[in-house]
Amino acid sequence: MRLSSIRVQNFRSIRDSGTIRIEPLQAFVGENNCGKSNLLKALQCFLTSGAGGMAADDFNDVNALCAIECEFSELSEGEKRRLRPYIIGDKVVLRKELHVQEDKARGRTTVRSDYHGYQAEPRDEWLSVKKLSAGDGRPKWQEIAKKNGILEYVQGTDGKVNKASYEAGLKRYLEENDVEYDEPELGETQALGLPQNLLSALPEIYLLPAITDYSDEIDRRSSSTVFRRLMADLSERIIGKDPRHIELEEALERVRALLNFSSDEGAPRRLEALSAAEVSLRDVMKKLMPSVASVKLEVQVEAPKEIFGRGVAIRIDDGVLTDVLDKGHGMQRNVVFSLLQMLIDGARLRDGDNHRPIILAIEEPELYIHPQSQRLIFRVLREFAGSEDDDAGSGVSDQVIYTTHSPSFVEVWNYQRIGIVSKPDARTGTIVTQAARLVLGSPEDRKSFKTLTSFGLKHNEVFFSRYAIIVEGPEDEVGFIATARKLGIIEELPDEMSVSIIVASGKGDVPKFQRIMNAFDMNYSVLLEMDGHNDAEPKNAAILEQLNGNRVARLPNKLEDLLGLPHHFKDQHHAKQFFSEAMNINAAMEQIVRDLLPLPEPEA
C-alpha cells in the first residue's frame, strides 16, 4: 500500500488544496510561509487517531468542517482483505472529517473527528446484496443465483442459498471477476468501526519537524517524539531477533515478582519491605477512614519496548566519546536519519512485503547538514522510498514526503516528484502545482534530458525562483549577468531578483525546459539566436511554439554578431574576459537584457 493522493480542506493556510498527487518520493518546494509544512501536518493528522493534534486555531474557518481525504493504491492481498468494503477498483479512498465542538460544561472547545470511506456498489443488481434487499419483497436467493449462474459461489454446505451464503459467495465472486461499479459514495458510518482498527491497516507516519533544538526530540521524558518512537520500534526488531531475548523477558518477569505479589508457581517471593510498607500505610489510613481493609502497592515494570523508548542514551565517539546531545545539530539529525534507515531496512528484511508501510515526512532535510553532504542525505531518502530512478513502480511501499529549500534535494528531470507550493493571497490559500509524468514525451527524450541535467545542481534552481531565463550556452549567461551589473539591475547575481538562468546547452534542448516550465505554469523568457533563419526554421519554430504566452528576445544571428565581434567566443573563459570590460557591452546588448527581464508587477 502507498499513498497516491491527498486533498486537504480548511486546515491552517489551506482552504482547498485540490487533489495532490503523491509519488513514492515527493518533494514540496516554495517560498517561506506558503504552507508547505501544513501539508505534512495535515497528513500526520489524518494518520493519527482522534483530533490528530489539531486544535480550534488550526481551522482556516473555525465554523466550517475540516476534511482530509487520502487515496491509497498498490494494496497487498492482506490489505485488500482488511479494507475490502472500501476498495474501488484497485484503490481505497478514505476521508477524515474534523469539526470544532463547544464544551459548555467545561467552558472550552474540543475537536471531534470521524473517518469515512468511499464505497461503490456493483452496477448489476444481482451483484449487490444491498440493492437486492432494498427491493420489494424478500429476495429469492436461490432463484437469483441460478438465474445468474453463480450457484457454485453462493451455495451453503447443505446446497441451499440464503442471504448469508449469498453475501459470502458474492464476496469471493467480486474478488475473482471484473465487474462494473456505480459512482462511489461517501459512507455515513465510521470506516472499519473504531479509528484504531482503520489506522492499523494504513501506513505509519514519522514526522521529522524543522525544529532548532534536537534536545527536545531526544528528551527521555517523552515517548512520542520521532526519536523515542524509533528507539521503541527498533528494540522490537533488534531484540526480537536475538536468541537470548528470552533471558531479558525472564529477568523482567523476576523483577516484577520481586516488586509485586505473584501467585505463579516458582515465582520469587516479594520483597518483604514492600509488604511491610502496605501494612503501615493501611494502619495510618484506618485511623482516618476505618473502612479501609487493605492497601496494595503495584509497581509497574515496563516491557523492553517501553524501556528502549524512554531510557536509551546514545553516546558517539567522533574523537571524543560524549552524549549525542553534546554534539552538533547536524550530528543529532544524522542520528535520526540513521535510525530511520535501520528501522525500514530491518522491517523489509524481516517481513518482506508484509511489513506495515512507513511514510517518512521531513521538514527541510537540509537543515544543519553540510552542503557537500546534502546530496548524500538525498540519496538515503531515495533508498527509503525505493526510488533510485524515475520509475514509479519500485515495489517498495515505504514513502518519503518532504519540504525543501535546497536544489540538492530535487532533480529537474524527475519533475513529476515535485510540487510547487504557493499562497497567492489569504483568500485563495495554499495551492500546489504539479506536472504530469509524460510532459517530456518519449523515454528517449527523458533519458537525454536526464543526461543533460545530471552533471550539477544548477538546473534544479529553477524550482526555487520566481522567474527563469533560458539561454543556449554558458557564454550567454555570462553576457546577461555582466550586462545586468552594468545597468545596475543587480549587484552580483540574478538570485537577488529571484531570477534563475537556465543554460540549455544547445538550441535543441530549449523546448524540453519550456515544456516542464509550462507544466508548472512558470514565468520565463527565452534568449533565441535565430542563426540567420526565420521563425519557420524547425528549431526556431519549436521554441516559439512552446512559449505559452511567455516572452522571447530574438537575436538575428549569434550573440557575437550583436556585439560586433568577427568571431565566436572560444569558451566561457573568453566570454568572461570580454564582458569584464563594461565598454564592450553595447546598447543592443543592454536592450536584449531589458527584454529578457521580468516585467514589473502591476500596482494594486
> Is 449 inside any structural domain?
no
| Per-residue pLDDT reduced to its tens digit, 480-528 | 999 999 999 999 999 999 999 999 988 999 999 999 999 999 999 999 9
**One domain for residues 268 and 198:** no
Distance CA 101, CA 536 (A): 65
Judged by DSSP in three states, 56 sits in: helix
Percent of the chain scored above 70 by pLDDT? 91
Distance CA 375, CA 234 (A): 26
Give the pLDDT score at 602.
Answer: 58
- Checking if the pLDDT of 188 tops 80, the result is no
> Is 571 inside any structural domain?
yes
pTM: 0.83
What does residue 378 show for φ and ψ, rounded to 5 degrees?
-60, -40
Give the pLDDT score at 192.
Answer: 64
Give the pLDDT score at 373.
Answer: 87
Q: With 0-12 CB in 10 A as exposed, 13-18 as middle and 19+ as buried, what is 563?
A: middle
Give the pLDDT score at 415.
Answer: 95
**One domain for residues 499 and 550:** yes
| Per-residue pLDDT reduced to its tens digit, 235-275 | 776 777 788 888 988 899 899 999 998 878 888 889 999 99
**One domain for residues 299 and 318:** no
Going by DSSP bridges, is the β-strand pair 418-422/25-29 parallel, antiparallel, or unpaired? parallel
| Per-residue pLDDT reduced to its tens digit, 83-103 | 877 888 789 999 999 999 988
Helix (H) or strand (E) holding 92: strand 91-103
| Per-residue pLDDT reduced to its tens digit, 207-243 | 988 865 556 655 555 556 776 777 777 677 677 778 8
> Is 387 inside any structural domain?
yes
**One domain for residues 59 and 204:** yes
79 phi-psi bin (left φ>0, alpha ψ -120 to 50, beta other): alpha
User: What angle is formed at CA 408 by the lines to CA 406 and CA 414, rounded to 5 degrees?
Assistant: 105
Give the pLDDT score at 388.
Answer: 67
397 phi-psi bin (left φ>0, alpha ψ -120 to 50, beta other): alpha
**One domain for residues 350 and 411:** yes
- Checking if the pLDDT of 550 tops 90, the result is yes
The mean of the pLDDT values for the chain is: 88
Give the pLDDT score at 462.
Answer: 96
Identify the weakest region by mean pLDDT among 77-81, 186-190, 372-376, 430-434: 186-190
From 257, 279, 304, give the residue that closes a domain.
304
Give the pLDDT score at 108.
Answer: 86
Highest mean pLDDT among 19-33, 74-88, 249-263: 19-33
Spell 10-24 as b/e; 16+ CB within 10 A means b: bbbbbbebeebbbbb
- Checking if the pLDDT of 554 tops 80, the result is yes
**One domain for residues 352 and 232:** yes
Going by DSSP bridges, is the β-strand pair 467-471/524-529 parallel, antiparallel, or unpaired? parallel
Each as own residue / partner, the long-range contacts of residues 408-411 (CB below 8 Å, 24 or more positions apart, any chain) are 408/366, 408/371, 408/374, 408/375, 408/378, 408/457, 408/460, 409/27, 409/365, 409/366, 409/374, 409/377, 409/378, 409/381, 410/27, 410/29, 410/460, 410/463, 411/453, 411/454, 411/460
> Is 218 inside any structural domain?
no
**One domain for residues 393 and 249:** no
* Average pLDDT of the residues in 370-381: 89
Give the pLDDT score at 9.
Answer: 98
Count of the separate structural domains present in the chain: 5
Distance CA 177, CA 127 (A): 11
| Per-residue pLDDT reduced to its tens digit, 437-492 | 889 878 888 888 999 998 999 999 999 999 999 999 999 999 999 999 999 999 99
* Average pLDDT of the residues in 527-535: 95
- Checking if the pLDDT of 381 tops 80, the result is yes
* Average pLDDT of the residues in 58-81: 92
* Average pLDDT of the residues in 162-178: 88
From 392, 412, 433, give the residue that closes a domain.
433
* Average pLDDT of the residues in 288-293: 89
Highest mean pLDDT among 34-48, 284-298, 340-354, 376-390: 34-48
**One domain for residues 161 and 199:** no
Instruction: Indicate which CATH number applies to the domain containing 580.
Output: 3.40.50
| Per-residue pLDDT reduced to its tens digit, 106-154 | 778 899 999 998 888 888 999 998 889 887 778 999 999 999 999 999 9
> Is 219 inside any structural domain?
no
**One domain for residues 361 and 391:** yes
**One domain for residues 279 and 340:** no
Residue 240, CA distances (Å) to 70, 113, 487 in order = 33, 36, 69
* Average pLDDT of the residues in 557-563: 95
Let me know how long the chain is.
604
> Is 413 inside any structural domain?
yes
**One domain for residues 232 and 254:** no
What's the domain range around 271? 245-304
Give the pLDDT score at 486.
Answer: 96
Distance CA 120, CA 118 (A): 7
> Is 602 inside any structural domain?
no
Residue 107, CA distances (Å) to 100, 430, 491 in order = 13, 32, 58
| Per-residue pLDDT reduced to its tens digit, 317-361 | 888 888 877 888 778 777 777 777 776 676 666 555 567 888 999
> Is 375 inside any structural domain?
yes
* Average pLDDT of the residues in 183-194: 73
**One domain for residues 256 and 270:** yes
